[in-house]
Chain A
Amino acid sequence: MLHAILFASALALGGEAPAPVIMTGGEPEAAPKVVTAFKAKRLYLGDGRALDDGMLIVADGVITAVGKDLDVPATAAVIEHDGVISPGLIALSSSDGAGGELYDSTRIALPDADAAHAFRPASHDFARERAAGITAVVLTPDERSLVGGTSAVVKTNGGVVVKRGAQLALGLSSAALHDNEFPTSYDGALRELDRLFDDPEGAISKAAAGNLPVLMSVGDRAEIQRALAFAARHHLSGALRGSYWAEELAPAIKASGFAVVCDPFDVGDESRGARSVKALSEAGVRFGFGLDAPARHPDCLRFAAASCVRAGVDPHVARRALTGDAAQIAGVGGRIGRLARGLDADLVLWSGDPIQLSSSIEAVYIDGVRVVGGER
């Protein structure tokens, strides 16, 4: 057992400083580069912009150039895609591939728990996610803990941990209240959180000092109010996890500077969820989508964005929420989530617009490696 844990840790550590040499800034190395040029009818850049008839050059898993009519190196393989390319989708708040180990029921506060330790790169869950165009997920400690520990951003292929200690997960919803153990009340939970943040240690002190964003789970409207008041009291920043009831409170959330990890939708869900996201979007709140996997199918991520567009959210904002904004919320915007020079080549080749549910996925690349789709 111990060996297994050590092994997993080693893998995780390996991911943090990936073994394959990653080219950053295009400094030449002795080893020959594997260069691929992608051409597509349209590139969605992940920051809300689109580029028609664009090109993308990828060298050794990193995007080296994005634009129109770029010079293609002679050695490059050229992939002409009669469709759309977007950055890989990013699922916030997921527990896929963590083997159900993101909740420690014996302790209500475990600030230094690291979700990366629950990461199982070989999990079959990730195959499902890749097939849905998801190239990175944020493994997030369970909302049932008052302080669940820190989340980790991982790739759905290659055992790569993009970032560990990404967000400190706090439970401010009734899910963190218990039937027969402390805390059973909101006031009990708040007191304990206040106590922990008044005299902070470990990850909590990082969060209290503003060096670690928090991710506060909320449910109903009163919980959102309580969470924002708590954050203001301790000068915290980060994101709320849970958007269903956020509609009327969108201006208050905007004023707080918090982002929102929206609840995912299923087919048949009430329209309130989408309305809330629309209100957040109109208030100018940054948001991404959580994925309650494995309880939900990974396709729900894209479905949620599409539902929001149907409810009136700007399609560009919705696409950004799936990619660039999600990366920002998880604190990895400098590495994934957009098609830009220097970022990881996590790409999805679509038949059409990603938020059109009729669009299908033709290929998925993670770190430049084709992981979905037949031909190399």
Chain B
Amino acid sequence: MMTPGLLLSLALGVGAPAAGTYYADVVYTGDGQTLERCAVTVADGKITALTPGVSPKDDAVRVKAITPGMIDLSARVANSPYSVEETYEVTPDFRVANTLDLFDVTWERHLQSGVTTVMASPYDDNCIGGLSVVLKTGGAKDVEKRTVRADAALRGAFGSQPSSRNHPAYGAPDDIFSRRPTTRMGVEWEWRKSFFDALYAQGELDAGTKVLRRALTGELPVFAQAWATQDVRTAVFLVEEMKAEGDAKMRLIVDCGAEAWREPELLVRSGAAVVLAPYDHDGRTTDGAFYALESAKTLTDLGVTVALSSHYAAGPGSVLGAQAGYAMRGGLTFDQALAAVTINPARLAGVDDRVGSLAVGKDADLALWNGTPFELSSRVVGVVLDGDLVVAPE
């Protein structure tokens, strides 16, 4: 029986040492290196040394394997309607950071499962919901202190969800939902209109337009939920159109992407990346989209950058590590699967200078495993976050 909450509070309570050594039979650095019998030394929250081919010291925490702390760009840590301002369909400058509840159990679940960095995005009830933030899953209960990158992406959604509450003005109560869009076509229209308006806005720009301009120039990636084929296509076509119209550097990251496997060439052509939804229910997902087990492989083989996600980290089979396992079941190699939960998402979110791989000088975020990473017969038993052992192996 485990009581992680207790473990965590004990670990924090005793003031875990700022310096420490973690030893594993195998250390996977996340950027292609596999170091055997390796000690990872950390001090002041950073990795200070990786020493392979050594014997463990007595005071080292010893486990079977160490990977970088994992990164989940679609962690759904703010999955409440209160995280998006539904009064308008397009709210580019609203910040999800102001709506986070660090006391929610979802954070703890992600941390326990070895996910040390997540992107938090507004709930997908708006076409363009607002600004996502990248932050650590543990540490001080303070959003600012945990933030790795503020305004990391512009979040929005295609498909049926943004329009699901809207209704035509007639025959219905006159509330904020008496409005467009009521179809996925309308959702697309809202996106296009917003970007065109931003592109051609004159004079002093309002906050929303400024954010949209940052997305148009590629400074902010557009992180858009799209499950079904038609929604993936819509997202890609829209971004391609805007690139043609404005700045060619605009970036798209498709979130969920259940049917992205049907359009790999399109994604390659547009340079879009994909954050895949967790694999479950034999591939049956939202919006009637069918999610093939080999999605990650199909996309990776063609050169699309793929990251994996776990959404709620609800149980042993849905944590991010298990998702990497399922991606391997679908044909991904171990190194590709590892990259899809570490360095790939780090790059997509623009935080690879701090997290996503194990290297001297990077944040000391480690996942400690009791066996081969990503096999369902092993799991994360310990977590180091910013150099602190926040989940101690039993």
Interfacial residues, chain A to chain B (CB-CB below 8 A) = 174, 177, 180-188, 190-191, 220-222, 225-226, 245, 248
Contacts and interface: CB of A to CB of B under 8 A. Distances in A.
6 contacts: A181-B87, A185-B122, A186-B82, A186-B83, A187-B98, A226-B98
Given A184-B81, A185-B83, A222 B98 contact: no
Name the residue among A181, A182, A184, A222 with the largest chain B CB count within 10 angstroms: A184
Given A180-B177, A184-B87, A220-B103, A190 B141 contact: no
B79 to A, nearest CB: 13
A185 B121 CA distance: 13
Contact of A177 (B82, B91, B94, B102): B82
B365 interface: no
Interface string B89-133: 001001110111111100000000000000000100000001000
Contacts of B91: 188
Given A182-B87, A225-B141, A187 B177 contact: no
Contacts of A184: 81-82, 84-87, 176
Given A180-B175, A226-B98, A185 B85 contact: yes
Contact of B98 (A174, A177, A190, A220): A190
A191 B85 CA distance: 11
Contacts of A225: 102, 141-142
Interface string B131-164: 0000000000110000000000000000000000
A190 B84 CA distance: 12
A185 B176 CA distance: 14
B103 to A, nearest CB: 4
B93 to A, nearest CB: 9
Given A182-B176, A225-B141, A187 B85 contact: yes
Contacts of A174: 82
Given A180-B175, A180-B177, A225-B141, A185 B101 contact: no
Contacts of B98: 186-187, 190, 226
Interface string B60-91: 00000000000000000000011111110001
A181 B98 CA distance: 19
Contacts of B173: 180
Contacts of A248: 141
Contact of B94 (A182, A188, A222, A226): A188
Contacts of A177: 82
B87 A188 contact: yes
Given A180-B177, A222-B101, A185 B86 contact: yes
Nearest to B84: A185
A220 to B, nearest CB: 6
Query: Which 4 interchain pairs have the tightest Cβ spacing?
Result: A222-B101, A188-B85, A180-B175, A182-B87
Contacts of A181: 87, 175-176
A352 B381 CA distance: 57
Contacts of A185: 81-86, 94, 99, 122
B100 to A, nearest CB: 7
A186 B177 CA distance: 19
Name the residue among A183, A186, A245, A248 with the largest chain B CB count within 10 angstroms: A186
Given A184-B82, A184-B84, A186-B82, A221 B94 contact: no
Contacts of A183: 85, 87
A222 B87 contact: no
A183 B81 CA distance: 11
